[in-house]
Chain A
């Protein structure tokens, strides 16, 4: 069964450093998403991506964040200058159509020290 994969599973970084989180969506999916979940809180939408551009983004997704699909399989989330409050689990998801079910990757746990 096809699945979304994410690397690394855990990333520890110093405040102010840049991090890149990687995702490989399901191969025939066209819509890609990033979410974050701070420990003990709800899953929060960050951004959706379709046809090589951002289609929606939330207030959380400020100038420190960017997304890219550098090739035919990877989908990345970059945080330019991490803050302590960026510590969270980051989930990538994909869907075949807008409004359809989304399938989530196992997440990357980001710890900012």
Chain B
């Protein structure tokens, strides 16, 4: 089983739509979780951290479900500029702090 799994998409949505992505992780000792966005041939840029209590930043909401071992990202009122690949990043705890990236979910927002 892959350590961090994401649906590659693409998710093709109209402007203004609400879209949600999930990311599952296999290791229950995972401690830290992040969402990054990556534009084509660019570096990953931090979107938000994912806390146990959830995290909201404007149109973006991230949630953590430890029992089911997944994190989610909800984007409301999608903009054309939201088109990108969204990367899930998981860091284990307990001695090994190697960040593991998912392959990313591609989002295309069209007019």
User: Which residue on B lies nearest to A109, using beta carbons?
Assistant: B41
For residue B103, CB closer than 8 A to chain A, the reply is: yes
Contact code string A8-49 (vs B, CB < 8 Å = 1, else 0): 000000000000000000000000010000000111110010
For residue A58, CB closer than 8 A to chain B, the reply is: yes
Of B12-20, B60-68, B69-77, B90-98, the segment with at least 4 beta carbons within 8 Å of chain A is B90-98
Q: Is the CB of B101 within 8 A of A43?
A: yes
Bound Cα distance from A89 to B42, whole angstroms: 9
| Total residues of chain A contacting the partner, CB 8 A | 22
Q: Is the CB of A56 within 8 A of B98?
A: yes
Contacts of B22 in A (CB 8 A): none
Q: Is the CB of A101 within 8 A of B103?
A: no
* Smallest CB separation, A75 vs chain B (Å): 15
Bound Cα distance from A57 to B19, whole angstroms: 36
Additional 11 contacts, C-beta under 8 A, given A48-B97, A99-B32, A102-B99: A42-B87, A43-B44, A44-B101, A56-B97, A56-B98, A91-B43, A98-B97, A99-B31, A104-B44, A104-B45, A106-B42
